[in-house]
Amino acid sequence: MRFRVLGVPEVHDDVADRRVPLTSPKQRQLLGALLVRPGVPVPMERLIEELWSGGAPGKAVNALQAHVSRLRQLLIEAEPSRANAPRLVARDTGYVLEARPEELDSARFLRDTARARALVDGDPRTACALLTEALGLWRGPAMAGSTSGPLCAGAAAELEEVRRSVQKLLYDIQSRLGLRHRTAAPGPRRPAPVVPGDRGELVRLRARVDELVDEQRLLRSQVEELSLLLGSRALSRR
């Protein structure tokens, strides 16, 4: 099982090699909030604020429990071996999602960039390859579509700041190694380009395809949610 927040929050089933379908933006927000600090309980009140940003429904606790129950069931369906020990459980008046660092793309990104920084002076080519692969993990903006609440917004801002610094570092290393001409600074949301044949090029192209698919799915779900909201308001005025 892999958990992804470097783009639209999602779960990937490694056994079936497929994305676990999350059925609403609220589920993606919930997943993102729980993955800000995996293994650490997040209080109910913080999750309610994250999902509804001050506009919580009258029975917000019940609504949150319903979203948690559905997300837990999706995770169990994708990982039946953990049916008796689910990853998402209630703890200390909140909820916790158990995920190992190697299962989380943001943790892998931070680990690989730390390794690369340690190699910059002694082995810049290996550092360059590590940074390229780390940036290839990104599928779009961090926690895309799920940053209306403070937990995800704060985590996304920190990840984006690291991403920008990594892009600049990669650009500097490539220039020093003569892999590219020094021209304008790289854009804030795109990995620095590499020469054709670089082993990270294919990774980034695949990531870009995933990013476009995620953006399309996100827009579709937002349109559906808005349509439902407008429909319910129209009915209430009758």
Chain segment 143-162, per-residue pLDDT in tens:
999 999 999 999 999 999 99
* pLDDT higher than threshold 70 for residue 221: no
Check residue 143 and give its pLDDT.
95
Closest by alpha carbon to 51, among 141, 144, 142, 150? 150
Report the SS3 class of residue 4.
strand
**What is the band of 183 on the pLDDT scale with cuts at 50, 70, 90?**
very low
Top-confidence residue, 76 or 209:
76
**What is the band of 179 on the pLDDT scale with cuts at 50, 70, 90?**
confident
* pLDDT higher than threshold 50 for residue 25: yes
Helices 199-236 and 25-35, interaxial angle, to 10°?
Answer: 130
**What is the band of 178 on the pLDDT scale with cuts at 50, 70, 90?**
confident
Instruction: Please give the domain boundaries of the chain with CATH numbers for all domains.
Output: 2-100 (1.10.10.10), 102-215 (no CATH)
Question: Cβ neighbours of residue 178 under 8 Å, at least 6 residues apart?
Answer: none
CA dist 221 and 112 (Å) reads 33
Interval 120-139 mean pLDDT: 95
**What is the band of 196 on the pLDDT scale with cuts at 50, 70, 90?**
very low
Mean per-residue pLDDT of the chain: 83
> Under a CB-based contact definition with an 8 Å cutoff, are residues 136 and 154 in contact?
no
- The pTM assigned to this predicted structure is 0.74
Top-confidence residue, 191 or 164:
164
* pLDDT higher than threshold 60 for residue 51: yes
CA dist 62 and 37 (Å) reads 23
Q: Which two tokens stand for residue 75?
A: 């995770």
* pLDDT higher than threshold 80 for residue 217: no
Residue with tokens 């169990």: 76
**What is the band of 211 on the pLDDT scale with cuts at 50, 70, 90?**
low
Interval 80-96 mean pLDDT: 93
Report the SS3 class of residue 43.
strand
**What is the band of 182 on the pLDDT scale with cuts at 50, 70, 90?**
very low
φ, ψ of residue 172 to 5 degrees: the values are -65, -40
> Under a CB-based contact definition with an 8 Å cutoff, are residues 2 and 63 in contact?
no
State what percent of residues in the chain have pLDDT above 90. 66
Widest CA span of the chain, in angstroms?
72
Q: Which two tokens stand for residue 162?
A: 């690291």
Check residue 206 and give its pLDDT.
53
